[in-house]
Amino acid sequence: MKFAGSFDGNLLSALNGEIVQQDGLQLLGCVELYHRDELSDQLGIRHIDLHNYSDVVLVLFAYKKWGKNFFKYLYGAWSFVLCDVDNKVLLLSRDPSENSSLFYLFKGHTLFFSSFTTFFNDSTLFDLEIDRDEFIRLSLRLVGNSRGKTIIKELHNLCPQSFLICDAEMHIESVEFLQEVIPVVRFKKEKDYFLQFRSLMAEAVMCRLRGANRPGIFLSSGLDSTTVCSFLLKSSDPGKIIHTYTSVPNFIDEHDNLDSVSELPLVEYFLKKFLNVKSSFLQFPNALLDAQFKNADILNLFNPIIHSNSFWLKGILEQARSDGVDRMFTGQMGNYSISFKGQQSSLSLSISRWMNYIFSMLFGDYHFKKQQWKYSVIRDDLISSLSKSKSFKAEFKLGYNHSLCTSTFRKKAFKKIHRFASVQWSLLGHEFGIRVVDPTCDIRLMNFLDSIPSTIFNRKGISKYLLKQAMLGILPSRILFNRIPKPQSADIGKRLERENFLSDIVDNLFDKYKNSNFFDVRKLKAIHVQLMATGNKQQQHVLSFHLLYMISMINCYDQLHGART
């Protein structure tokens, strides 16, 4: 899965992984193709002979036949560099929608690249320097890094559905490719949308099952993961065991209602009719939040954020590795891809919403921005200066003003979140040796969802209408119409009380940076005070996310700045 290498304009060298060579072409990377039979038809390969060709070789055949246009014929998960030796051209590419990662930077007359950030972090070849503006951007909710950039100067993150061309003179060009343009879909009968959705979801799951010896799934009681799980269980061979992993609170007492704070009862109810399941309900009483800050090296060059769910994400992957799971399914991005694409006005009749609207008219966007800046530990004057820059102004406004149309905002937010999540899952997969796949982001499914009427997503007063109607008769009604959200960190308040490490950290950071011209630790202190004062689980979840985010930013700055100085 991991690979790293360099290109000096003439020679492709592997520093991690093996180069595959054929007919003047070289490829280094990770490739997993879906719909191999369709590609073989286009390449003129008989289906009976298809087993003789690996996915990498099929990619090389495709490049040989179609040149740089070959991407529109590929469906699958990939992250690779391809060197055309005769023409002295290097292509770096990532798939449109899967969990992949590819980073690159120039040093002298050499292009270095890797699928994992620790390659750059651990090497003595590179003098890593913090990009101040990108660091500030990352500290802001809903904004984040510029497209294709990281918090390190000159270190770039290749975005999904794009490729770079690097020639012998080390000139580089970025290209975004389209695989297919889907015409608008209009069915006469509403049920045809649901049937097509089921077909595409089943196909998306089956494609990702190919080559999986022991599959597993992150399973909550939500609609997205249970949808993926239902198709996974139906698509698997009857004798193949599916491992499911659900995180449950471990600090439940007599005052807590199990049905309202834990996903365990609904998941157990969902799984009881399936025989080929080995279910794990995992608690992490010994997974301390402060330990997360000490083990963040794998992500700190890309997105060094610790949040209140980090311990169970890694804990589940660690357990899955010990169970021999080699492929982990998730439906994490389903909320943005299959649930919320419909038109929905964000202006409601609520008094607070109209008051904010009036304030924005009277005082401008600064009123809204100021409300959000309190969750960034960066000084307001630095954020304000950056937000007024020409290249950032429109994007900053989009990040904080949800616009009148929720669907427009969600589509733009989804692209940003997907760029982050796909890389995050890829890096975690590298760490644990498990490929993490998400069928809810399948490119063919996404194309279909983009082509159907937006009213299908929210209809008759029912949110997630498409998903709920499509899964009628497949998912239990107790899950389809569950009205009690189950935050995976329902025990965050009790966990913080037990550890009590945040108070010391906040006090130490306040003393260290109280006179800083970059960090404003008064915000840190204020959020901590609010967190300690509330007993509401939802508020604890939100406030702890912001507080841990702030601490992560300072710790990352300390590590990188300290290493450089």
pLDDT in tens, 345-377: 444 445 555 665 665 555 555 545 667 788 899
Q: What is the dihedral of CA 144, 146, 152, 155, to 10 degrees?
A: 140
Give the containing element (helix H, strand E) for 6.
strand 4-7
Mean pLDDT of 158-177: 89
Greatest mean pLDDT among 42-51, 140-149, 292-301, 357-366 lies in 42-51
Least confident of 85-99, 256-270, 398-412: 398-412
Q: Is the pLDDT of residue 329 over 90?
A: yes
Written as six digits, the tokens of 543 are 């406030």
Residue 556 CA to residue 554 CA, distance in Å, equals: 5
Mean pLDDT of 52-60: 95
Burial of 331 (0-12, 13-18, 19+ CB in 10 A): buried
% of the chain residues with pLDDT over 90 = 48
pLDDT confidence tier of residue 397, bands split at 50, 70 and 90: low
What value does the mean pLDDT of the chain take? 85
Residue 457 CA to residue 42 CA, distance in Å, equals: 35
Question: Tell me, what's the pLDDT at 565?
Answer: 43
Is 3.40.50.620 the CATH classification of the domain at 190-342+408-485? Answer: yes
Q: Tokens 């009681």 map to which residue? A: 221
Question: Tell me, what's the pLDDT at 175?
Answer: 87
Q: Is the pLDDT of residue 404 over 60?
A: no
Is 3.40.640.10 the CATH classification of the domain at 4-176? Answer: no
Q: Which residues contact residue 42 at a Cβ distance below 8 angstroms, ignoring those fewer than 6 apart? A: 73
Residue 299: left if φ>0, alpha if ψ -120 to 50, beta else—which one? alpha
Residue 70 CA to residue 49 CA, distance in Å, equals: 21
Question: Tell me, what's the pLDDT at 206?
Answer: 95
Q: Which residues contact residue 345 at a Cβ distance below 8 angstroms, ignoring those fewer than 6 apart? A: 404, 405, 406
What is the residue extent of each domain of the chain? Answer: 4-176, 190-342+408-485, 351-401, 500-565
Residue 378 CA to residue 270 CA, distance in Å, equals: 45
pLDDT confidence tier of residue 406, bands split at 50, 70 and 90: low
Question: Tell me, what's the pLDDT at 131?
Answer: 93
288 or 320, greater pLDDT:
320
Least confident of 131-145, 388-402, 431-445, 461-475: 388-402
Least confident of 181-185, 437-441, 511-515: 181-185
Please write the tens of the pLDDT for every residue from 59-90. 999 999 999 899 989 999 999 999 999 989 99
SS3 472: strand
pTM: 0.90
